[in-house]
Structure 1
């Protein structure tokens, strides 16, 4: 009976052809350009259509595979139980141990110890891991002494009689990306990777190499570039190990990948799916004995690039959506960055909020109870294919240059990322890319927290062929911090007149515009006359007076405001009226609108104000 009703239901709704959809869309556009209005031109090298249908999946070869099946697009396991990961900076082993135990009791099951001490003894290691059951938790070691720790950790496992298959430990040894790309120096430890693989050959769950792909993203790369460069570095390690006498099966099982997850919600889901497929095919080319060697082992960390120091609680929202992308995509482990990490050492509150974001996704949203929920979506599957195609094209270009190391030494890697970063910077300056609280919708009443120092907003200059991390909001934040610490309180006054609807819309736009520089804004509902508005502006001791009206009103309103205001404040017109040339001829030269370079325009006004 149910099947009969279902069949009847579907006969009542005949299929609609794509051509019919397109006809309706074209009619609704009323002559507007389809490509400009509805097609998203991504920075990844491909365009995204406004909708997708089953026909868009034709020719995608990876469809039909399940989680745990080659090429692992849908996941490397038949479950989605990821590890909740947090990092502890080790300065004093006993104190770091106490913090780690607190985190473990609060719900995390993967902990990273970052060790940079010149000397780190066996006694220090014992103190660091006191009370921590090695078989019960995933341990990750990073820092400058990471390579030296391998022997110490293996010795501790042997001393405590822990079964080798029970040790889930990873070392963040990465001389190619973290060393060469970030510092310009290739660590000699790269020659010892094959020996580390041999030492840990019997430890099924120990990985000695971590490809730090997040470095590309935090330096401003696109998603495609991050993926392609990460794969290229991973392949470089694979080549070096196999040339060192290690078979591909063992070498691939010793590589771990750490990548960023940004707020580009669906694109990030597709990235991790594409990454697993591409890495599986790279390893498959070496003819491993077992397909499980082709599984990509991925750790995700939420982006530092898009965090802001102003309105920092928005970082919680960014971290949550990013965590959703990673968990839906099916990563092995995930670290949510604390919301205050962009301007100081995270405190206990921010760390708790960070890990709780993941715990909520697990225990209240049950994201760990379903594998690849995005699978089958026409949009996600098409995105996966598009990202994979573009990343593979770039990967092959790197291979043609001789592999990752050769491409880096030729300047190719750094030049590509810097070009992408420059494009992002321009998009942020012109608000084509929004960073909430920084270049759009700032908190009008906020001033810099005492904890925010110049170093938090000052972008380090990369000298030579290296990549350095920065945050996209830094240019705005540096400008705003300069205003906050200047001892002055510049004010922008909204002189709303003429058409009420247009006056209010442009006043809201202008308030957001000037507040991005820390300029105090005084909004006003409406002035019945220009004379009343100018009088109020002068009484408010405004430094900038913004005329907010309709285009038709500006021809008479703006000159009258200029006449009454004189040189007592900077006059700005909100919009790009057709009468702009006539206004300019009368000495009215300041305009702000949606096409303005917000950053450069605000810098100009601050300079005019002597700040």
Structure 2
């Protein structure tokens, strides 16, 4: 059956001609719609506006050898009741970062032959492993060892005595949390994995057995196609490493929703972010998924947040059936191309690390390269090219932030980059003032003329926790100046159309200056006498906010 049999055939050239026509009508002068409409990721992977069968790469990612995934909940507070509640309500494995002294108590009543346990104990991994192994011979999961320390000894012990247990986690989260790109996270994880293989095989473990001791952990973000491509590329790359080493290892993947994308402000939006990330992790083929609770940026989660986190996964698995299809994105021209391009960038980065002596000797190189990516993303966040809903875009100025109790401050995942933090720090500062700092919006002309730019300006100032007060529709400079004086602000922003700016901006700015305005902004572009600076789509919003705080006398 040919589904397109009744439609006329088209070619890429047909599309290009139509796209160019639309672009030119929009004022975009270009001979290439691909160049005009395409974008680049932080890794330099080109995202084209159109894909066809000619974009399929020769080498494709291997499919995940399973359907569905393991619902893995993280616990950093020793709470046996919470652990049992999770396991009784859809969670199938545990990720424990509790103190070693509390490990046995936390696992009291847990059937370790049914619920795998993954440890996160840092320098005390060997102690935690002894406690866990002392709880039963049929323990499954991962001891969570990293490079160095007791990783080799634990791996040899697992390989010999505990066939259902792995010893080592190759953790890509620190590279993601530091601000790294997808290719940087993948390349660094490959380098760490290879370093483990060298150590394990040097200790006498066969290649296949060494491969079987590793589990990889990656970040899943709300950019669903980026996450799908990353997990698929990771399997492709690790299959290549295993092949070169003389083995056939299938990468075991644990995807964790990104802590960098989480917000402390408007935290309920995090439910949407983590749902998208979880969906992408499942479609990308993750073996286990951890959904961080929506309030993870505030502190350790409460019972409601944990329930929503686990039910996000249960809904996707049971109601939506996301796990019923193996590699549902496989064969997509776009996904296959993006996977291959990302894998190529990650492999090149891995080779750079290896040429520098391996991950243990390339620390300065890795730090410097990730810092470059972080700086680019920070610039995008500041200019709102990287929008953060509820924080840099559409903030709620009436929001009351969640405040963590002392008990909830224990065990929260922290220490890395959070994209929303610069805006949230300003909002915290505004909240801490005796009276909320205020900006006056001089709305020139009728409502229809000033609404768009007044809304834009208010949204920008609200992102820093600033209150905005409007003058109401008027073109009378003195009337606007009186409204400015009455509201008690020290900073004003003109809002109207370009035409009305030409007629009234200078006079209104002069009246506001006489009334004591320390700085006068204009929403839009253009130069007008008396106006100090402009704010517009694509401007440095953080710089506008920080400048306004300084003008208002708020100490940062």
Q: Mark yes or no: TM-score above 0.5.
A: yes
Select the residue among 261, 265, 277 that pairs with 1:306.
261
CA 1:195 to 1:173, structure 2 compared with 1: closer, same or farther past 3 Å? Answer: closer
Q: 1:150 aligns with which of 103, 109, 129?
A: 129
* 1:480 to 2:427 alignment: yes
Which residue of 1 is the match for residue 114 of structure 2? Answer: 136
2:315 maps to which residue?
360
Which residue number corresponds to residue 182 of structure 1?
A: none
* Counterpart Cα distance in 2 of 1:208 and 1:524: 65
Superposed CA offset, 1:163-189 (max 9, x none): xxxx422111113xxxxxxxxxxx533
Instruction: Indicate the residue corresponding to 1:180 in structure 2.
Output: none
Residues 568 and 364 of structure 1: CA distance in aligned 2, closer, same or farther (over 3 Å): same
Matches within 5 A, 1:243-322: 243-288=202-247, 291=248, 294-322=249-277
What CA distance in whole angstroms lies between the structure 2 residues aligned with 1:274 and 1:568?
A: 59
> 1:546 & 1:347 partners in 2: Cα distance?
42
Of 338-347 and 18-27, deviating more is: 338-347
- CA-CA distance at 1:15 after TM superposition: 2.1
* Counterpart for residue 442 of structure 1: 395
Instruction: Find out whether 1:49 has 2:48 as its counterpart.
Output: yes
Kindly tell me the number of residue pairs found equivalent between the two proteins. Answer: 543
- Stretch deviating more after TM superposition (499-508 or 236-245): 499-508
Find the aligned partners of 1:199 and 1:509 in 2 and give their Cα distance: 59
Which deviations, in whole Å up to 9, do the C-alpha atoms of 1:224-281 show, x marking residues without a partner?
1111111111111111111121111000100011111112210110110010011011
Query: Structure 1 CA distance, aligned partners of 2:287 and 2:237?
Result: 17
User: Contact 2:447–2:473 (CA<8 Å) still a contact in 1?
Assistant: yes
Q: Which residue of 2 aligns with 1:421?
A: 374
The aligned residue for residue 510 of structure 1 is: 457
Q: Would the aligned equivalents of 1:263 and 1:322 in 2 still touch at CA under 8 Å?
A: yes
Q: Determine the structure 2 residue equivalent to 1:430.
A: 383
Deviation at 1:196, TM superposition (A): 3.0
* DSSP-derived class of the 1:318 partner: helix
Change (3 A) 1:197 1:593: same
Q: Does residue 403 in structure 1 map to residue 402 in structure 2?
A: no
Aligned counterpart, 2:191: 232
Residues 444 and 521, structure 1, Cα contact 8 Å, conserved in 2: no
Q: How far 1:520 moved relative to its partner?
A: 0.7
Cα drift, residue 134 of structure 1: 1.5
CA contact (8 A) 2:159 2:209 kept: no
Q: Deviations over 1:123-143 (max 9, x none)?
A: x62x43332112211111211
User: How far apart are residue 525 of structure 1 and its match?
Assistant: 6.2
How much does 1:418 deviate?
1.3
Inter-partner Cα distance in structure 2 for 1:216 and 1:436:
24
Residues 532-555 of structure 1: CA deviation (Å, up to 9, x unaligned): 433333333333322111122223
How high is the TM-score relative to the length of structure 1?
A: 0.84
Say which SS state the counterpart of residue 50 (structure 1) adopts: coil
Residue 219 of structure 1: aligned partner: 178
Q: What do you get for the CA RMSD once the two structures are aligned?
A: 2.4
Q: TM-score, normalised by structure 2?
A: 0.92
Write out per-residue CA displacement over residues 27-82 of structure 1, whole angstroms, 9 at most, x where no aligned residue.
1101514456411121112211001011111x4222xxxxxxxxx6221x1x3221
Change (3 A) 1:115 1:563: closer
Residue 596 of structure 1 pairs with residue 539 of structure 2: yes
The DSSP-based 3-state class of the residue aligned with 2:340 is helix
Q: Is the contact made by 2:444 and 2:475 (CA closer than 8 Å) also made in structure 1? A: yes
